[in-house]
Structure 1
Amino acid sequence: METRGRSLVKAVLWNVIGLVSMTAVGFLATGSLRAGGLTAAINTVLGFVTYLIYERVWSRITWGRRHA
């Protein structure tokens, strides 16, 4: 089972990567760093919360795990 701290660190790192890439995509799509950054920030917050919930749910599911 994964600790909450590990899940949190994974979610933060994943979302930093997503924030940078979505800012670039938003900027390319809109030509505005502000609009691209706002879109990326909203996406990052939603993605962060969703990912944390997703990871915590899967940490409780035993299907497909091998027991040593």
Structure 2
Amino acid sequence: MVQHRRSLVKAVSYRLFATSVVFAIAFIFTGELGSSAKIGLSAAVAKTLLYYLWERLWTAIDWGTEPA
């Protein structure tokens, strides 16, 4: 059984990794640390919100689930 703490650490570490990748790509294109940080942070917040909304949408879809 996977502990909740492991799942939380996995999610947070993935978000940090993914944000770092976005930051690096933004830096390559802009050459500016401040702009790259804003892009990386904005992307992290937007992706987290979009993922939550996506999960809520899928919660409303019965396809592929079994009745309790």
Give the TM-score normalised by the residue count of structure 1. Answer: 0.66
Q: Deviations over 1:6-62 (max 9, x none)?
A: xxx486555333211100101111111211111111111111111111012212311
Q: Which runs of 5 or more structure 1 residues have no equivalent in the other structure?
A: none
How far apart are the structure 2 equivalents of 1:35 and 1:50?
22
Give the RMSD, CA atoms, in angstroms: 2.5
Verify the 8 A CA contact 1:15 1:47 in the aligned structure 2.
Answer: no
Q: Give the count of matched residue pairs.
A: 60
Find the structure with the greater CA-based Rg: 2
- Percent of aligned positions that are identical: 27
CA distance in 2, matches of 1:12, 1:53: 18
Rounded to whole Å, the distance in 2 between the matches of 1:39 and 1:51 is 18
TM-score using structure 2 length: 0.66
* Structure 2 residue runs without a partner (length 5+): none
